[in-house]
């Protein structure tokens, strides 16, 4: 995918609250860590800060058995260090800003349909969200598999701690 073929950066960030697990969501256009990481670095909202380091979840990205994941991403803004934990399956991109602030972003799989991606972005930035990135993706997968209409979803009531059926 060439630079001219790319859509604008698909990101939603709300770093103002410390009560939720996620600061936002990012919907990359492919599974190419170099290309998508460079796009994130170069087009990250300047009012939020400047990415100085990225920590990624390996299952979100295509890797080749004979070629390890990159340690740096070359972007127009310069080289940015990247890292991961080998067994990490959190579906997170941790963006460490030059101010040393950490932002936790849900990585929405590139093949996700637009309606689901929009919903995930809204949920990830919602002040009431208590789910992890992996939890949000699992919930979205379950919704798609079961369909929303006519399927009963089990949810926890806010009052009383009992399960109720919602259709």
Residue 1, pLDDT above cutoff 80: no
pLDDT > 70? residue 113: yes
pLDDT computed for residue 121 by the predictor? 96
Q: What is the DSSP-derived secondary structure letter of residue 93?
A: E
102-107/24-26 β-pairing: parallel
Nearest Cα to 82, choosing from 66, 69, 91, 92?
69
pTM: predicted TM-score of the whole model, two decimal places:
0.81
Instruction: Report the distance separating Cα 74 and Cα 39, nearest Å.
Output: 10
Counting Cβ atoms within 10 Å, is residue 133 exposed (0-12), middle (13-18) or buried (19+)? buried
Range in 44-58, 102-116, 135-149, 153-167 the model is least confident about? 153-167
Q: Model confidence at 147, in pLDDT bands (50, 70, 90)? A: low
């Amino acid at each position: 995918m060439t630079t001219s073929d790319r859509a604008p950066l698909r990101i939603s960030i709300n770093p103002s609250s410390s009560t939720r697990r996620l600061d936002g969501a990012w919907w990359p256009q492919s599974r190419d860590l170099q290309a998508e990481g460079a796009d994130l670095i170069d087009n990250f909202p300047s009012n939020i800060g400047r990415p100085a380091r990225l920590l990624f979840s390996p299952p979100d990205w295509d890797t080749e058995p004979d070629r390890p994941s990159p340690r740096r991403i070359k972007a127009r803004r310069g080289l940015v260090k990247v890292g991961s934990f080998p067994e990490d399956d959190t579906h997170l991109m941790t963006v460490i800003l030059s101010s040393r602030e950490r932002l936790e972003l849900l990585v929405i799989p590139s093949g996700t349909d637009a309606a689901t991606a929009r919903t995930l972005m809204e949920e990830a930035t919602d002040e009431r969200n208590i789910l992890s990135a992996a939890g949000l993706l699992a919930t979205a997968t379950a919704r798609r598999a079961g369909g929303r209409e006519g399927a009963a979803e089990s949810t926890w009531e806010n009052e009383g701690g009992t399960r109720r059926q919602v259709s």
